[in-house]
Amino acid sequence: MAYHIERIRSEIPALAGGPAFFDSPGGTQLPAPVIEAMVAAMSAPLSNRTTLTEGGRNAERITIEARAAMADLLGAAPERVVFGRSATMLTFDLARTLAFGWAPGDEVVVTRLDHDGNIRPWVIAAERAGATVRFCDFDPESGELTPQHLRKVVTEDTVLVALPGASNLIGTVPDLPALVRIGHEVAAHVHIDAVHLAAHRRVDLAALGADTLTTSPYKLCGPHLGVLTAAPDAIDELRPDKLLPSPDIVPERFELGTLPYELLAGLPAVADWLAGLDDAATGTRSERLDVSLAAAEQHEDALAMQLLEALPDLPGVTNLSRAADRTPTTLLIFDEISAAEVAQQLAGERIQAPAGHFYAWEASHRLGLRDAGGLRIGFAPYNDAAEVERLVRALATATS
């Protein structure tokens, strides 16, 4: 592994001047090549997609290259990469479209571990269709969501199972292939919210086995966009609301209006940048992503371990991220001070680690944290050990 953190950090302009970003589960900072790719797209002719003009060809090329980049990042087919404003918007759109086929008696399964963006769109769509909503619980002590939890709520009437790829609150990564199989045993559509997962693990839609999956490039050092991808045949028969003259092919059928080409132009640069995180990675972009994302995972896990090892020396701190398999995302609560006050003190030191429930509203309530949530410390490929030392010193001051 050749993970040269100083080289990686030198490519992130936002790190200049010394802020430390532990807020990556909320959004990441942009590498210079990604910014440059977006600026280049805006500096060149750019029109609606067509092969007739230079601007149209640029828009066409940007769209094709952006789909290929997300396909490499998600183990999906480029022709089933759908772009939208956010993962939330795409999930609402997908839920509404799938719900055209739901009726009273059908059952929709959501989990309490998810971000609300993978709960409420399904709940609202189910209620409109007269379908029943079943909530799958998780163990608040261990943070685990197991196949046993899911089996309790999946029945022969289940038409949809929505799963968290990973919890954006406490980091839990469930045994996804096992959970997907439970949904498929009853022929339900299985959707995975991979927004948090894809920021920390190599995602492969085919290996996960899900029908559809959402992610958000802005959690991957990319632009603020949402991406939906699907297994072959999972969305080809769906008929979303669309304008009469807009393309009726997949994926365009699912993309409402003109795409943000300036932002899409950043996606190949993101995939290339992530693929180059490990200087020793060689081969196709997909092969380099295998190596580099594994190296980034190892790097971030080591930083999380550095934090965890320091916690016992801090008075009155409880770590709620406890699942055996989890991302480095660490949720802390404090005996003597609120998480919000700690976040404020850290911000005074230019350390960004926010407090709250982060829209994992059901999970925060199930953990007994109500709306206050906890202090969430997240890691990105560009964090380093010196920043963690700084964070630990600031936590010691805040809790003393």
Ligand X SMILES: Cc1ncc(COP(=O)(O)O)c(C=O)c1O
CA distance 224 to 216: 7
Q: Considering the rule CB under 6 A, would residue 97 count as an interface residue with ligand X?
A: no
Q: Considering the rule CB under 6 A, would residue 170 count as an interface residue with ligand X?
A: no
CA distance 155 to 190: 14
Q: Which is nearer to ligand X, 87 or 293 (CB)?
A: 87
The b/e string for 215-242 (b: 16+ C-beta within 10 A; e otherwise) is bbbbbbbbbebbbbbbbeebbeebebeb
Are 108 and 190 in contact, with CB atoms under 8 Å apart?
no
| Identity at 48, one-letter amino acid code | N
Site for ligand X in 232-291 (CB under 6 A): none
Per-residue CA distances from 254 to 84, 125, 221, 389 (Å) = 9, 17, 25, 46
Q: Considering the rule CB under 6 A, would residue 73 count as an interface residue with ligand X?
A: no
Q: Considering the rule CB under 6 A, would residue 221 count as an interface residue with ligand X?
A: no
Q: Considering the rule CB under 6 A, would residue 216 count as an interface residue with ligand X?
A: yes
Nearest approach, Cβ of residue 88 and ligand X (Å): 3
CA distance 277 to 289: 8
Taking CB under 6 A as the criterion, the residue among 58, 63, 168, 383 binding ligand X is: 168
Interface size with ligand X, residues (CB under 6 A): 14
Q: Considering the rule CB under 6 A, would residue 86 count as an interface residue with ligand X?
A: yes
Q: Which is nearer to ligand X, 195 or 395 (CB)?
A: 195
Q: Which is nearer to ligand X, 63 or 111 (CB)?
A: 111
Task: With contacts defined by CB under 6 A, name the span among 42-50, 81-89, 181-189, 297-305 that binds ligand X.
Answer: 81-89
Are 193 and 172 in contact, with CB atoms under 8 Å apart?
no
CA distance 337 to 28: 27
Nearest approach, Cβ of residue 328 and ligand X (Å): 14
Nearest approach, Cβ of residue 226 and ligand X (Å): 5
Q: Which residues of this protein are in contact with ligand X, per CB under 6 A?
A: 25-26, 86-88, 115, 117-118, 168, 193, 195-196, 216, 226
